[in-house]
Amino acid sequence: MSTQLPTESSIKRVVYLAVLIAIGVVLNLIEPPQIYPFIPGAKLGLANLSTLLAIMLFGAKYGIIVAAIRTIVASIFRGSINWISFGTSFFGGVSAAIVMAILFLFSKNRISIKGISTVGGITNNIVQVIFVYIVTKNTLFLYYAFFLIPVGGLAGFLIGVLGVAIYNRLEKR
C-alpha cells in the first residue's frame, strides 16, 4: 500500500485557499448588514471577492468550494444559524459561484471578469429572493427582486473591479 505525499504545489494551493476562505469570512463578518437604508438586505457582498479570486487563481471548482466553506464558517462565527439567514447566504453565494465558474470556464475570452462578477451578483440576489419565497410562500418577496437585481449587478461589478485589481497585483509578484 503506497501513500502519496502532498506535493509542494498542492500544499501551497491548500494554504492559499484557506487564506481566501479566511478573508471571505472576515469580510462577511465586518460588512454592515445593509448599505442601502431603503433596500433591506442589500449589501456589497465583499466576501464574494474571495470566491472570485479563487476562481481566477485556482479554477472553477475551487471557487465553488471557497464559496460553500466561507458561508458555512461565517454563519457559525455569527453564532446564529437560522434557516433563512443561512440559506440565503449559502444558496446565494454558492449559486453565484457556480454561475461565475461556468462563465469563467466557457466564455472568459468573451466576457470580462467584471462582467462575470456582475452576473454573479445578480444571480446571488435572484437566488436569495427565490429562497425566501420558497421558505415563506410570500409572493411579495418575488417583487423585491426588481430592487435587488440592479443592486446585485452594481455590487458584482464593483467586486469585479476589486478582483481584477487584486489579481493584477498578485500577478506582478
pLDDT at 24 over 70: yes
pLDDT higher for 34 or 120? 120
Task: Compute the CA torsion angle 30, 35, 39, 42 (nearest 10 deg).
Answer: -50
All domains in the chain, ordered by first residue: 8-31+43-172 (1.10.1760.20)
- Per residue in 38-85, pLDDT (tens digit) is 666 677 889 999 999 999 999 999 999 999 999 999 999 988 678 888
Q: In whole angstroms, what is the distance from residue 100 CA to residue 23 CA? A: 19
Q: What percent of the chain has pLDDT over 70?
A: 89
Q: In whole angstroms, what is the distance from residue 52 CA to residue 54 CA? A: 5
- 165 φψ region: left (φ > 0), alpha (ψ -120 to 50), beta (else): alpha
pTM, full prediction: 0.88
